[in-house]
């Protein structure tokens, strides 16, 4: 119940809104799916009621050692494992209680584990990083597309009203031709930022986990295919479930006594699964984002591709109309029309493209075209220019 209440706070991120669609499908994977997933993971690792206390340390019967004090001390000052005991068998007769937990000598090398204190904060920070490109693009876009769509996304509309809006929108597109290149460049930069953000987060997690994240998923897959008695689970190596802690305190005569404690990190049961999933998801997301960026470059650089996309979107009745439009469009003009095609009802967009084609070719409106040739009042034309 606690987890359900916590996740309820994230409904705003995944709630479907009726604003204009200004993102690509890959873009949404970053700011909507990945960011929401990271925020959910952040809530999950802070919901201690799922696994109990995040740390519990076992100590001797010394009355001066209080459970709460010992647990708090070891949580704050970090715990450690011994690398020399990682790949050994454990249990009776081995001298090793658990992978990485065994007899400690002054010359032994220790691997300290402090990351578990920072996992919730890092996950929240990563969620913000994946949401940032969306916020930046939405700020740069400034509601431009929403203002020029003018309700043409509604399939059922009064015929005269549709005619007027299409005519008005064609006026704006014709008058602002070749003035949208920077609009497209800003979107491309945000898509590039999405890919850079994904790669940076993979590097960041590798540094955060002591250089073990890059091969983490591969190691987990390899472990499932080998005899578990011959190899240590890589999830235990990165996220140990049992560790050691040295607690120092004064004895009766003022001499410092060191108590060797064994601590159970129950929270790592969740952490190890989260980061396995994140490894696979980030690899898939990086590959998809790279392919999407290459596709975007091809669309921006090859006019034939842009022409084909508009033809597919508009389904024009006069095939030469798309050629007339494509020859005059620059990258920014195409990008704006492509976004319009995603937000404007098909019939309206087809009529809009026909109207724009006739304006660009300096011809009269075709008599069969379902668009009124009546002039639009100048004050309405100025209004849409100001809104856009």
What string of DSSP letters covers 21-50?
--S-HHHHIIIIIIHHHHHHHHHHHH-GGG
Average pLDDT on 252-273 reads: 83
| Range among 11-15, 92-96, 287-291 rated most confident | 287-291
Q: Tell me what pLDDT residue 316 has.
A: 58
Dihedrals phi, psi of 370, to nearest 5 degrees: -85, 50
**Of 162, 170, 190, 191, which is closest to residue 336 (Cα–Cα)?**
170
- Answer yes or no: is pLDDT of 88 > 80: no
- Answer yes or no: is pLDDT of 343 > 80: yes
**Residue 315 neighbours by CB distance under 10 Å:** 12
Least confident of 2-16, 36-50, 77-91: 2-16
Q: 226 is in which domain, residue-wise?
A: 53-112+132-388
Average pLDDT on 50-56 reads: 73
* Residue 165 domain-assigned (yes or no): yes
Tell me how far apart the alpha carbons of residues 204 and 197 are, in angstroms, rounded to a whole number: 10
Average pLDDT on 118-138 reads: 94
* Residue 27 domain-assigned (yes or no): no
* Residue 313 domain-assigned (yes or no): yes
Q: Tell me what pLDDT residue 56 has.
A: 86
Residue 92 binned pLDDT confidence (cut-offs 50, 70, 90): low
* Residue 10 domain-assigned (yes or no): no
Domain count across the chain: 1
- Answer yes or no: is pLDDT of 230 > 60: no
**Element (DSSP H or E) covering residue 192:** helix 181-208
- Answer yes or no: is pLDDT of 276 > 80: yes
* Residue 362 domain-assigned (yes or no): yes
- Answer yes or no: is pLDDT of 31 > 80: yes
Secondary structure of residue 257 in the 3-state scheme: strand
| Structure-block tokens of residue 219 | 């190691």
Placement of tokens 């031709």 in the chain: 177
- Give Cα separations from 346 to 10, 147, 275 (angstroms): 34, 18, 43
Are 313 and 335 contacting, i.e. CB atoms less than 8 angstroms apart? no
Q: Tell me what pLDDT residue 133 has.
A: 95
* Residue 334 domain-assigned (yes or no): yes
- Answer yes or no: is pLDDT of 17 > 60: no
* Residue 328 domain-assigned (yes or no): yes
Tally the C-alpha atoms within 13 A of residue 5's C-alpha that lie toward its C-beta.
5
* Residue 67 domain-assigned (yes or no): yes
Dihedrals phi, psi of 73, to nearest 5 degrees: -60, -50
| Range among 191-200, 221-230, 244-253 rated most confident | 191-200
Are 208 and 115 contacting, i.e. CB atoms less than 8 angstroms apart? yes
| Range among 28-37, 106-115, 301-310 rated most confident | 28-37
pLDDT tens, residue by residue, 147-174? 888 777 777 777 888 888 888 888 888 8
Residue 140 binned pLDDT confidence (cut-offs 50, 70, 90): very high
**Residue 250 neighbours by CB distance under 10 Å:** 10
């Amino acid at each position: 119940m606690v987890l359900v209440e916590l996740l309820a706070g994230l409904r705003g991120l995944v709630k479907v809104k009726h604003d204009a669609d200004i993102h690509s499908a890959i873009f949404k994977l970053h700011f909507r799916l990945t960011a929401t997933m990271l925020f959910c993971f952040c809530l999950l690792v802070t919901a201690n009621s799922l696994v109990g206390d995040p740390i519990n340390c076992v100590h001797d019967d010394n009355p001066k050692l209080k459970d709460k004090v010992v647990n708090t001390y070891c949580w704050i000052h970090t715990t450690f494992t011994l690398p020399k005991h990682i790949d050994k068998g454990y249990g009776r007769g081995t001298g090793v209680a658990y992978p990485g937990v065994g007899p400690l000598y002054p010359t032994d090398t220790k691997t300290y584990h402090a990351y578990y204190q920072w996992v919730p904060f890092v996950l929240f920070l990563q969620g913000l990083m994946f949401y940032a490109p969306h916020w930046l693009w939405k700020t740069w876009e400034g509601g431009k597309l929403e203002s020029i769509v003018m309700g043409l996304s509604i399939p059922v509309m009064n015929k005269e009203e549709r005619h007027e809006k299409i005519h008005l929108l064609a006026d704006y597109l014709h008058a602002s031709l070749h003035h949208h290149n920077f609009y497209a460049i800003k979107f491309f930069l945000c898509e590039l930022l999405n890919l850079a953000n994904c790669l940076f987060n993979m590097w960041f997690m590798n540094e955060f986990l002591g250089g073990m994240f890059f091969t983490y998923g591969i190691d987990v897959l390899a472990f499932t295919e080998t005899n578990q008695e011959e190899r240590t689970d890589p999830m235990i190596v990165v996220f140990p479930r049992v560790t050691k802690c040295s607690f120092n305190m004064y004895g009766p005569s003022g001499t410092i006594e060191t108590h060797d404690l064994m601590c159970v990190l129950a929270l790592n049961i969740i952490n190890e699964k989260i980061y396995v999933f994140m490894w696979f998801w980030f690899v898939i997301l990086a590959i998809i984002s790279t392919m999407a960026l290459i596709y975007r470059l091809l669309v921006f650089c090859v006019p034939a591709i842009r022409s084909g996309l508009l033809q597919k979107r508009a389904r024009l009745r006069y095939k030469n109309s798309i050629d007339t439009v494509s020859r005059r469009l620059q990258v920014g003009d195409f990008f704006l029309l492509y976004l319009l095609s995603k937000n404007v009802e098909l019939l309206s967009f087809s009529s809009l493209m026909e109207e724009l084609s006739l304006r660009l070719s300096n011809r009269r409106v075709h008599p069969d075209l379902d668009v009124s040739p009546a002039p639009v009042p100048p004050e309405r034309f100025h209004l849409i220019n100001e809104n856009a």
